[in-house]
Amino acid sequence: MAGQPKTELRKEQILRAAERIFARKGFHDATISDVSREARVSDATIYEYFSSKEELLFSIPGQTTRRHREETETILEFLPRAADRIHCIIKRYFWFYDQNPDHASVSMLILKQNRKFIEMPAYQDVKEMSRLVLRVIEEGVAKGEFRKNIDPYLVRASILGTIEHLVIRKILLGKPDKLEELADPLADLILQGVLARDTEKVLNVRLTLDSPDKAVKETVSVSTSSRNQG
């Protein structure tokens, strides 16, 4: 808990102000003065900490994104099954964006489509997170949990794309109120298309046994959709 050097606090203060302002007004419509006013420092002070408005923008994700990734990685270690991991990743994404709406706006509306940002070091964390998702999928396939014939890249695109779409929708249209509640149904939907199931191959199983006195004809119906079921 060693107090951060005062200068780090200042930096953080500016960063959070910038996040709020950029989230509210967009990058180009926000001025350095807007940010400095929000941060209660002078314009010039911002330049003591960041070399340009753009660098300020690119510094916003910083720790937040890294922490999100690291904590997610930590949790995943406790989840042996790929399906649970996917579920966890989705849940945490929604939770993360619910908790950090300004970060969500900056990430989704400003940074995601910024050609320069994807060349910045800060983008690495986003990339890492994306790789993590891919790895989980590939491991799921390798372990036989997921179907062999899926394209892991496509599955990842599907997971991340859906999340992004919903987050942007929430930012722009304000609904739904809680993204997190979409985590279960989304995980179900995705896993439905991905899980390898014996079942998948077993249809209308009709078993006839040679037991002469007893002819057995069974059709067992079991609901399979929920990933929560054993």
Q: Which residues bind a second copy (CB under 8 A)?
A: 26, 28, 83, 87, 108-110, 112-113, 115, 118, 147, 149-151, 154-155, 157-158, 160-166, 168-169, 172-173, 182, 185-195, 197-205, 207, 209, 211, 214, 216, 218-229
Smaller CB separation from DNA, 10 or 16? 10
Q: Which of residues 49-78 bind DNA (CB under 7 A)?
A: 51-54
Tokens of 92: 């945490």
CB atoms within 10 A of CB 5: 9
Distance in Å, CB of 104 to DNA, minimum? 22
Helices (H), the chain: 6-25, 32-39, 43-49, 53-59, 62-76, 82-99, 101-105, 123-142, 152-173, 183-192, 198-201
Partner in contact with 113, chosen from a second copy, DNA, none, beta carbon below 5 to 8 Å by kind: a second copy
Q: How far is CA 217 from CA 130, 208, 220, 221, in A?
A: 48, 6, 10, 13
Calpha distance 29→39 (Å, rounded) = 17
* Full DSSP string of 113-130: T-TTGGGSTTHHHHHHHH
Q: Binding to DNA by residue 110, rule CB under 7 A?
A: no
Local structure of residue 220 (DSSP, 8 states): -
Amino acid at 152: P
Q: Binding to DNA by residue 43, rule CB under 7 A?
A: yes
Partner in contact with 37, chosen from DNA, a second copy, none, beta carbon below 5 to 8 Å by kind: none
Q: What is the size of the binding site for DNA (CB under 7 A)?
A: 19
In this chain, which of 4, 48, 67, 228 binds DNA, going by CB under 7 A?
48
Q: Binding to DNA by residue 7, rule CB under 7 A?
A: yes
Residues sharing a CB contact under 8 Å with residue 65, sequence separation 6 or more, in sequence order:
107, 122, 125, 126, 129
Specify whether the CB–CB gap between 30 and 21 falls below 8 A. yes
Partner in contact with 52, chosen from DNA, a second copy, none, beta carbon below 5 to 8 Å by kind: DNA
Distance in Å, CB of 1 to a second copy, minimum? 32
Phi and psi at residue 175, to the nearest 5°: -135, 150
Smaller CB separation from DNA, 42 or 192? 42
Of 37-45, 118-126, 136-144, 159-167, the window that binds DNA (rule: CB under 7 A) is 37-45
Binding footprint of DNA on the chain (CB under 7 A): 5-7, 10, 30-33, 41-45, 47-48, 51-54
